Homo-oligomer: A and B are copies of this chain.
Amino acid sequence: MPVILDDARARGLQELIDFCAKQGVTCSVSSAHAPMPAIAGIGTLANAGPSEIAFLSNPRYQSQLQHTRAAAVLLTPDADAALQDAADLPPFVRVVCAHPYLAYALLARWFDAMRKPAGQGSIHPTAVVAEGAQVHASASIGAHCVIEAGAVIADGCRIGPGCIIGEGSSVGPDSLLHARVTLYHDVHIGARAIVHSGAVLGADGFGFAPDPREQGAWFKIAQLGGVTVGDDVEIGANTTIDRGALDNTQIASGVKLDNQIMIAHNVRIGAHTAIAACVGIAGSTVIGARCTIGGAAMLSGHLTLVDDVHISGGTAVTSSINKPGRYTGVYPYAEHGQWQKNAAVIQQLSQLRKRIRANTPSDRDQ
């Protein structure tokens, strides 16, 4: 259930509009209402209560305006104009805004901050902080954390319970590690990071040399590199980022990683690239800036993707991509019987092509 503030903490709508303006997002009230309602929370059009503000960003939810109980709704000028002659609308205040989704994001952050008071720096008595680790006085360290020698936790960090910060690793200012995050040694995270529970940064890359001294055996290659993560990066639950073999695995600033992503050793990811859940990226692949990668896509190793490449979910990328654009490779699903029939043909495609070529004039002939 979304945050709902009690009456004493609810804010006037105008105060929220002023807050957005200060962040550079201008909103204005379109409908004439007096007095402005007090807002105690934020909700969806479908489920917001009479003390909440909602938003309309995706036009396909427009019909929900007919039934919303929200006190106010953020919407675009176009959506607002479309309502001018609408009859029988519920009595919500229309708040017009070029970017209602961003305004919603600003307000959601505001309400979320109301939920968790800022907190004082403190080290839980059950945490184990090695001599020689540096924890800033304004940082909080949760119960049962382990902070190893040489680790540096900067000002304003909040380290959740059960986190392990390895030797010589560092976490930049105002970062938030949720419960049970592991940083191995020599992992460096910038400012304002958010790392979710179960994430593991700095485990060994998967590197083995065939051992000619015993048939089939593998000889482990010690992974001597580290991991560097820029500023404003978010890393999802149970995501793993391996340390480099010799150089570092590198995640640039502004990168957003969802849950259960696997990033192998020596991968480099450019600024503001966003990657959805369950993606696997094999070793030494380099991804440009502002890319998006859909869920469960996989990228082979030693590839290069330029900036502004967009990979659809489920796509296997097996070669480098030198041109911005959208790329897809998903086998279409069907009812099982239909799929069986078509899949059987796949196995003979090259023979089929041969037969067609043998029996039809070629394009060049025409």
Contact = CB atoms under 8 A, between A and B. Distances in A.
A146 B326 CA distance: 45
B47 A246 contact: yes
Most buried by B among A111, A220, A223: A220
Interface in A315-366: 315-318, 325-336, 338-350, 352-353, 355-356, 358-361, 363
Interface stretch (A13-21, A76-84, A275-283): A275-283
A254 interface: yes
Interface string A272-313: 101011101010000001100001101010000000000111
Interface in A200-246: 200, 203-204, 206, 208-213, 215-226, 232, 234, 236-238, 240, 242, 245-246
Given A276-B206, A316-B313, A331-B316, A225 B1 contact: yes
Given A180-B180, A198-B182, A300-B313, A218 B274 contact: yes
A345 B335 contact: no
A158 interface: no
A3 B248 CA distance: 12
A44 interface: yes
| Copies of chain A in the complex | 3
A197 interface: yes
Nearest to A289: B216
A197 to B, nearest CB: 4
Contact of A102 (B98, B219, B237): B219
Given A178-B184, A333-B318, A276 B282 contact: yes
A59 interface: no
A196 B182 CA distance: 10
Contacts of A224: 2-3, 42, 108, 111-112, 115
Most buried by B among A108, A224, A256, A341: A224
A331 B199 CA distance: 30
B198 A238 contact: yes
Contacts of A178: 182, 184, 203
A117 B100 CA distance: 57
A105 to B, nearest CB: 4
Interface stretch (A30-38, A133-141, A258-266): A258-266
A154 interface: no
Contacts of A226: 1
Most buried by B among A184, A197, A219, A345: A197
Interface in A121-154: 124, 126, 128, 142-144, 146
A152 to B, nearest CB: 15
25 contacts: A104-B221, A105-B219, A108-B222, A108-B224, A109-B220, A126-B128, A126-B144, A144-B144, A146-B161, A160-B164, A178-B203, A179-B182, A179-B184, A204-B236, A206-B259, A238-B260, A240-B259, A260-B262, A262-B277, A276-B282, A280-B295, A314-B316, A328-B340, A330-B343, A356-B360
Interface of A: 1-3, 24, 42-44, 46-47, 98-99, 101-102, 104-106, 108-109, 111-112, 115, 124, 126, 128, 142-144, 146, 160-162, 164, 166, 178-180, 182, 184, 186, 194, 196-198, 200, 203-204, 206, 208-213, 215-226, 232, 234, 236-238, 240, 242, 245-248, 254, 256, 258-260, 262, 264, 271-272, 274, 276-278, 280, 282, 289-290, 295-296, 298, 300, 311-318, 325-336, 338-350, 352-353, 355-356, 358-361, 363
